Structure 1
Amino acid sequence: MKPPKIPDNEAERLHALRALGILDTAHEERFDRVTRMAKRMFGVPMSLVSLIDEDRQWFKSVQGIDVEETERKTSFCAHAINSDGLFIIPNAVCDERFCDHPMVVNTPNIRFYAGCPLKLRQGLNIGTLCLIDSKPRDLDSEDRQLLQDLGAMIEQEIKSVQMATLDELTMISNRRGFLSLAEQVLQVCKRKQHNSSIIVFDLNKFKPINDTYGHHEGDHVLKVFAMELIGWFRESDVVGRWGGDEFVVLLSDTTPEMVKSSLSGFSDNMAKVNQESGKPYNIEFSCGVSCHKYDCELSIEERIERADKEMYKVKRSR
């Protein structure tokens, strides 16, 4: 069995998926309606909406099989998210990638698989709408178009979630999405008695970049900075665009010393990014930190306000 390739933009993909806030949530009629339609229209025993997390595929909607998740390394859908179009296996027994797959040689004896990648935007696939059968088969051009149409319906439902929680430009959490995720993380911190920290970042000289090189270049700066934040901080940390050129990060289970060390490393990382970018400007930032005990009663907004005040002290000192 050939393991699925990890997408080149995996960190961005995982962050966008988790920022949606739909992993490990209850089944919803708007998704179940489509998988029921797919199962009936194609006459297959199984139809699923799968979301590919770091080490598992989790099913937001499932028809025909009583399972909530499986390992990513044995997932057909983890292969499918690397495709721009439909990913179809007419007969898994005859495919060297899957012929010895445990779900091919054992129950449910998968033979046919067809997955339509679900994208948040071009190149950023978070899962699939898929069809599974225990009999070999294929799809003609009309069937393929139908599966893509049903996949587009799922994407529209995901888009409605995305508009509420994700920043459209950078694909990280927007203010609303950040607050929702942060509240969940703080509850965990309180339960496990872990301290937490907030970092507020503000880009320096951002307006001159927009004015001199155009808004397209300004958008590029925002996207680059967002991706560097995601790449640098831990997967357990919550990263968001607070608004304009201001970003915020919530770190759990940290000490002030750990935050200081991480920020020092991030500054060095951004210096390297600037050096290698070939741009006529540097991406510069100021930041402020507020650290809090696990039993702190301040709201997330109040914690951000404290970090924001510290950040402006730094800006004024410059």
Structure 2
Amino acid sequence: MYLPPEDEEGRLSSLESFAILDTPQEPVFDRIVQLAQASMRMPIAAISLVDRHRQWFKAQRGLGVTETPRDISFCTHAIRGRDPLLVSDARENPVFRTSPLVTGETGIRFYAGAPLRSSEGYTLGTLCVADTRPRRMTARQVGLLTGFASLVVHELELRRHAARDPLTGALAKAGFMVLGGREFHRAVRYRRALSCLMLDIDHFKQVNDRHGHAAGDRVLAAVADAVADALRPADTLGRVGGEEFAVLLPETGTRGAVRVAERLRRQVGRLKVPAGEAAIAVTVSIGVATCGTADADFPGLLECADAALYDAKRGGRDRVVANGAQPEAAEEACGNPEAACELTGPKRLVP
């Protein structure tokens, strides 16, 4: 058994923002692990990222697997502290002596894990080394391990920065698609709800034509800020087109997604973006789609949300359209007699 860190949801949200889980092996991370293993003469070394129910290895040497359950891992205990976790002999340690990683074929006796701390202060996982015999680390070796962990974090932060749209701070399309694909497969695997929103700024071309591209950029940034402020930590905002954004809503069915979409529509509708002596009023059209058994992949879910978005635009804009919801469900979800919430027919199978 283990106790998660105090702000576990915030930590998981931070980990998600890197869009690194379940990505292919990469030479830069493999090289760091190789250097850590060689410099400390350990048979096992890994970059371990601790997800909700598992630890996943971005790179590893000596383990032969890509992930293990979180509840048997050493790293889930290491992420609770700021300093490296050192276990001289796991068989003599009451926390670890019954772990299958100790009693099974892997046979770990020694473990050292340096936390990988993000710029927000969340620990994503560890850079760890292990041995099949008891041993102790010198202060120099601990310093080396911590230094290698800093290199891992630096590389992760660079990737995350590059994956974000510099104007709006939203996740760039490539990163959003990677994260969306992962959430989609998790929703299907564990039969959990997952919804997606597609947002388009209404008449955005007219903003650029009348006020200039600098004003258009201010509108994009203001809309992104307004949307991000209204989302939960677990939700993800991505910029997937010029004036198009997408929102990923884990653990959210159609009713909840329509509520969120209406909240975002109203929040954006309050904006007045300065443009010289004028103030630009902004509205958005939003399409809602919920993951169902008929969907093959995340792009299919996004396509359904996009189809609902175009229904919203054809219907007069500044409104929410949900594909596949039942009329009474969306009417209840809107909860506002003035809300411009519409439904198209059951084009999709909704759980």
**Is TM-score (shorter-chain normalized) higher than 0.5?**
yes
Cα drift, residue 287 of structure 1: 6.6
Structure 1: distance between partners of 2:14 and 2:311? 27
Determine if contact 1:16/1:172 at 8 Å carries over to the other structure: no
How do 1:187-202 and structure 2 match up within 5 A?
197-198=196-197, 200=199
Matched residue, 2:45: 47
Matched residue, 1:125: 123
Q: How many residues align?
A: 273
Partner of 2:231: helix, strand, or coil?
Answer: helix
> TM-score normalised to the size of structure 1?
0.66
Matched residue, 2:8: 10
- Residues 65, 301 of structure 1: alpha-carbon distance in 2 compared, 3 angstrom cutoff: same
Structure 1: distance between partners of 2:318 and 2:63? 57
Structure 2 counterpart of 1:108, one-letter code: T
- Residues 151, 308 of structure 1: alpha-carbon distance in 2 compared, 3 angstrom cutoff: farther
Determine if contact 2:75/2:125 at 8 Å carries over to the other structure: yes
Identity across aligned pairs (percent)? 29
Determine if contact 1:288/1:309 at 8 Å carries over to the other structure: no
Matched residue, 2:80: 82
Determine if contact 2:289/2:304 at 8 Å carries over to the other structure: no
Matched residue, 1:151: 149
- My pick for the range that moved more, 56-65 or 292-301, is 292-301
Relative CO higher for 1 or 2, CA cutoff 8 Å, sep ≥ 6? 1
Matched residue, 1:230: 232
- Residues 226, 117 of structure 1: alpha-carbon distance in 2 compared, 3 angstrom cutoff: farther
Structure 1: distance between partners of 2:133 and 2:245? 51
Partner of 1:50: helix, strand, or coil?
Answer: strand
- Residues 43, 255 of structure 1: alpha-carbon distance in 2 compared, 3 angstrom cutoff: closer
Residues 1:68 and 2:66 are matched in the alignment: yes
Structure 1: distance between partners of 2:16 and 2:163? 10
- Residues 225, 84 of structure 1: alpha-carbon distance in 2 compared, 3 angstrom cutoff: farther
Determine if contact 1:288/1:312 at 8 Å carries over to the other structure: yes
- Residues 186, 164 of structure 1: alpha-carbon distance in 2 compared, 3 angstrom cutoff: same
Cα drift, residue 20 of structure 1: 2.1
- Residues 118, 167 of structure 1: alpha-carbon distance in 2 compared, 3 angstrom cutoff: farther
Partner of 2:98: helix, strand, or coil?
Answer: coil
Partner of 2:257: helix, strand, or coil?
Answer: helix
How do 1:135-284 and structure 2 match up within 5 A?
135-166=133-164, 173=171, 177-178=175-176, 181-182=179-180, 197-198=196-197, 200=199, 226=228, 229-231=231-233, 238-240=236-238, 248-251=246-249, 257-262=255-260
Cα drift, residue 41 of structure 1: 1.1
Determine if contact 1:84/1:123 at 8 Å carries over to the other structure: no
Structure 2: distance between partners of 1:94 and 1:247? 53
- Residues 266, 232 of structure 1: alpha-carbon distance in 2 compared, 3 angstrom cutoff: farther
Residues 1:290 and 2:321 are matched in the alignment: no
Structure 1: distance between partners of 2:159 and 2:195? 27
- My pick for the range that moved more, 37-46 or 292-301, is 292-301
Partner of 1:229: helix, strand, or coil?
Answer: coil
Matched residue, 1:210: none
Structure 1 counterpart of 2:138, one-letter code: D
Structure 2: distance between partners of 1:290 and 1:252? 16
Cα drift, residue 256 of structure 1: 5.9
The structure whose Rg is larger is 2
Cα drift, residue 79 of structure 1: 0.9
Determine if contact 2:261/2:288 at 8 Å carries over to the other structure: no
Higher helix share: 1
Cα drift, residue 199 of structure 1: 5.5
